[in-house]
Amino acid sequence: MRVLILGAGGHGRAVCEAALDAGFEVAGFLDGRAPLPAVLGLPVLGTEAAHEGGPLLIAFGDNAARLAAAARLRAPLPVLLHPSAIKARSAEIAEGAVVMPRAVLGAQARIGRLALVNTGAIVEHDVELGEGAHIGPGAILCGGVRIGPRAMVGAGAVVAPNVRVGEGAVIGAGAAVTTEVDAFSRVAGVPARIIS
């Protein structure tokens, strides 16, 4: 499938390489900072205004920005599943979701629309990720965890079994989450505690 990548920053470059590994034909990038020089040898074709309606991989690490871009552009949003990721047969991945190298999706995991499962993250059995959620590199979500829409789980964080993380919540890198996290709150530490 031929795609454009929206976002030519660091995450855009990572998504581009994952897409190429997964067999996509990447035509180039769109970026709000255009004009830019070529990125990874591919052209930056302009800002999102240059999008003509074809399939698009939205490569923004920021959850709200990813969802807002999808709402503005209304493009086909393919799933990107890196070939080194491990996906259980019963796991489900919604449109526009990105699953990066060496990530693991367990039995009956459900990955929401435009969610991002970053490099080496583990999403165990029966986990649900809401729309636009972001699971950082190396994070571990134990069985039965529920992550709300637009929530962020930082790199290396661990969320204990059956814990719920509310909409828009942020879990700091390396945190150990053992109790429910309210919507739009920020937690960090071992064990995780509210910081704002």
Instruction: Look at residue 13 and give its three-state secondary structure.
Output: helix
Token reading at 156? 């290396």
What contacts 48, CB < 8 A, 6 or more positions away? 6, 30, 32, 69, 72, 73
Active-site annotation, residues: 125
Token reading at 92? 């489900």
Rounded-to-integer distance, Cα 153 and Cα 55, Å: 27
Rounded-to-integer distance, Cα 73 and Cα 90, Å: 30
Rounded-to-integer distance, Cα 164 and Cα 179, Å: 8
Rounded-to-integer distance, Cα 108 and Cα 93, Å: 10
For residue 131, give the nearest of 108, 109, 110, 101 by alpha carbon: 110
Query: Which residue shows structure tokens 């449109």?
Result: 95
